[in-house]
Amino acid sequence: MSRLVESTLGPRWIRVRLQNPPHNGLNPDLCQQLSQVLQAAADNPEIRAILLDASGKSFCVGADLRWAAQQGPGAFSTLVRAMHQVCEIMLTAPKPVICSVAGAAAGGGMSIALCADVRLADQRASFRLAYPQVAVSMDGGSSFRLPQLIGMGRTQSLLYDDRTLSAAEARELGLVHEVLHPERLEERAWQRLELLAQGPTLAFGESKRLLNPPEWVRERLEKEAEAIDRCAQTQDAARAMQAFLAKRPLNYEGR
């Protein structure tokens, strides 16, 4: 198995980086590797803050659809449950998680970014739910994280309009905390990481449990996975994936 995730360990922190070029598409191997690294960091009392970022042109564009097309109808179910392990760890780890977004964050990639406690983006970053493109429902915690962060009305607008947000728009809505010049993003991420690692991390952890009760998070993620299971069996989803890969338009039929 190739290494799709690399990590750098510091005195009080860990940096975790996605590296599945060109756009860090999600597959079960990447998600399992990411889960292992994040869980080990969450369990290690010497690590007091976590930074997640990515190499390449994009932060993460969501599911690797070429992989999914090769696997057949069960691919989304397998992938979503592997990705949800990542999301659950990020949401419930007893220490702050920073996500640094450069380039596109779409679908599951956007959802993973939203699971972080502190979200930074460079000026060229973009955000899109993109689930309607492949005729599947929301996952990665987005069905509850988005309403938490920006409210139900704005969530509905993003879902049904399925438009791409610029970094500035994401900041205005409250999806990210800071937008920085690309040359400043990494420096600022390190600054935030160091500051959080020096902070009252036990108290941060207790606050996270109050904000994201683990049992509730697990239940909601499972509801999302069950909805994906149903969507994955539809004609719309099968045809949408083929159309997306072939870059041709699709008329959904609601079947």
Average per-residue pLDDT in the chain? 94
83-94 pLDDT, tens per residue? Answer: 999 999 999 999
58/55 Cα distance (integer angstroms): 7
Which phi and psi (to 5°) does residue 52 adopt?
Answer: -115, 125
The average pLDDT across 131-143 equals 93
What is d(CA 79, CA 31) in angstroms, rounded to the nearest whole number?
Answer: 8
Q: CA-to-CA distance for 34 and 161, rounded, in angstroms? A: 31
For residue 60, pLDDT over 70 is answered with yes
Read off the tokens for 1. Answer: 């198995």
Average pLDDT, integer, range 139-159: 97
Residue 113: pLDDT above 60? Answer: yes
Q: Is it the case that residue 2 has pLDDT exceeding 90?
A: no
**Sign, Cα dihedral of 166, 168, 170, 175:** positive
Residue 85 CA: distances (Å) to CA of 32, 49, 119, 208: 8, 19, 20, 17
Angle, CA 214 vertex, CA 213 and CA 218 arms, to 5°? 120
pLDDT number for residue 107: 96
